[in-house]
C-alpha cells in the first residue's frame, strides 16, 4: 500500500510537470525519499517518506527583444510580492500596469532594492527607453531608477512550492541576497521540463503501479487459500 501511495504521488508530480511545460520559468518537481523509523506491531521498521524538490536545471533562454522580458543566468530567483507575500519566481515576463508598477505575468509586484518597482514614466512617455543591465540595475532614459532584487537559497531542497508560479523557503525564513546571478534583458527562461523524460517516468510509474497491484492480488489469493485450508482442521 505504501508503494502504491508513493507511485500515485509520483504520477501526480509527473502530470503536473507536463501541464506546466509552457509555463515560463517553471522548475520541474521531482521526488526524493527519506527513511525514518516507526514502531509497527512492536517492531521498529524503516518507512520511506517521499519529499518533493525542484530541479535546479535552467530552462532554455528564449529571445524576444521585448525590454520587459528578463531572464536569470544562474541559480537565483526574482523576488516578487503576490497577495501581500514576498515569494520567489523565475518567470521574467514583466509588464507595466495601469498605475506604473512593474508586474510579472501573474500580476505579482516585482521587487527592487528600494521596494516595489515603480515606473510611472513608462505610462506617460511611450518613447521612454528602458534598460536593464546584467546586475539588474534599471535605467530609464539614462537615469538609474532601481535594481532588481535577486535572491537565492543555499540548497534547492530548501524550496517549498506554493503553486506553479511561486516558491518560498521550507523554514519560512527570508531567502538570501543573490550577488552572483546575472540577468539578460530581451530574453525569458522557458520551463525546464523535458517532455521525453516525463513521459518515460509516467510510463514507468504506471507499470510499477500495475506490478504492485498484481502482487497484492496474489497475496490476497494466497491468504484466501491458507484460510480455506486452515478451516478444514
Name the grid cell of 198: 516525463
The pLDDT-based confidence of 89 (bands split at 50, 70, 90) is very high
Q: Do 174 and 225 share a domain, yes or no?
A: no
Q: Do 90 and 182 share a domain, yes or no?
A: yes
Res 232 pLDDT > 70: no
Q: Do 15 and 80 share a domain, yes or no?
A: no
Report the C-alpha gap between 130 and 122 in whole angstroms.
8
Report the C-alpha gap between 137 and 43 in whole angstroms.
60
Q: Do 6 and 77 share a domain, yes or no?
A: no
Q: What pLDDT score does 30 carry?
A: 83
Q: Do 19 and 92 share a domain, yes or no?
A: no
Q: What percent of the chain has pLDDT over 90?
A: 52
What is the domain range of residue 176?
Answer: 61-189
Q: Do 157 and 220 share a domain, yes or no?
A: no
- Our count of domains for the chain comes to 2
Q: Do 19 and 97 share a domain, yes or no?
A: no
Res 180 pLDDT > 90: yes
β-partners of residue 40 are 43
Taking alpha carbons only, the member of 198, 215, 180, 185 closest to residue 20 is: 198
Q: Do 42 and 149 share a domain, yes or no?
A: no
Report the C-alpha gap between 32 and 149 in whole angstroms.
30
CB 174 within 8 A of CB 167: no
Q: What pLDDT score does 48 carry?
A: 66
- How many other CB atoms are found less than 10 A from the CB of residue 116? 14
Mean pLDDT for the chain overall: 88
Taking alpha carbons only, the member of 184, 182, 148, 149 closest to residue 65 is: 184
Q: Do 135 and 185 share a domain, yes or no?
A: yes
Q: Do 40 and 141 share a domain, yes or no?
A: no
Q: Do 47 and 71 share a domain, yes or no?
A: no
pLDDT tens string 26-84: 999 887 666 666 777 777 777 666 677 888 889 999 999 999 999 999 999 999 999 99
Q: What pLDDT score does 208 carry?
A: 79
Name the grid cell of 118: 515603480
pLDDT tens string 115-159: 999 999 887 787 889 999 999 999 999 999 999 999 999 988 888
Q: Do 98 and 170 share a domain, yes or no?
A: yes
Q: What pLDDT score does 97 carry?
A: 93
pTM of the model: 0.79
Amino acid at each position: 500500500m505504501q508503494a502504491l501511495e508513493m507511485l500515485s504521488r509520483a504520477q501526480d508530480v509527473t502530470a503536473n510537470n507536463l501541464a506546466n511545460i509552457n509555463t515560463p520559468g517553471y522548475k520541474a518537481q521531482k521526488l526524493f525519499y527519506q527513511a525514518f523509523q516507526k514502531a509497527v506491531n512492536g517492531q521498529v521498521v524503516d518507512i520511506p517518506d517521499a519529499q518533493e524538490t525542484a530541479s535546479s536545471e535552467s530552462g532554455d533562454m528564449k529571445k524576444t527583444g521585448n525590454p520587459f522580458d528578463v531572464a536569470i543566468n544562474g541559480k537565483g530567483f526574482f523576488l516578487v510580492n503576490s497577495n501581500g507575500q514576498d515569494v520567489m519566481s523565475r518567470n521574467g515576463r514583466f509588464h507595466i500596469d495601469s498605475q506604473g508598477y512593474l508586474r510579472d505575468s501573474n500580476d505579482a509586484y516585482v521587487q527592487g532594492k528600494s521596494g516595489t518597482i515603480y515606473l510611472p514614466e513608462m505610462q506617460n512617455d511611450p518613447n521612454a527607453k528602458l534598460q536593464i543591465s546584467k546586475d539588474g540595475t534599471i535605467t530609464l532614459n539614462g537615469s538609474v531608477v532601481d535594481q532588481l532584487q535577486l535572491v537565492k537559497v543555499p540548497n534547492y531542497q530548501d524550496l517549498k512550492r506554493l503553486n506553479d508560479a511561486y516558491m518560498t523557503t521550507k523554514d519560512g525564513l527570508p531567502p538570501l541576497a543573490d550577488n552572483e546571478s546575472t540577468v539578460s534583458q530581451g530574453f525569458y527562461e522557458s520551463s525546464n521540463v523535458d517532455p521525453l523524460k516525463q513521459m518515460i517516468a509516467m510510463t514507468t510509474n504506471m507499470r510499477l503501479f500495475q506490478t504492485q497491484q498484481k502482487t497484492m492480488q496474489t497475496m490476497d489469493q494466497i491468504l484466501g487459500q491458507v484460510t480455506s485450508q486452515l478451516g478444514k482442521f
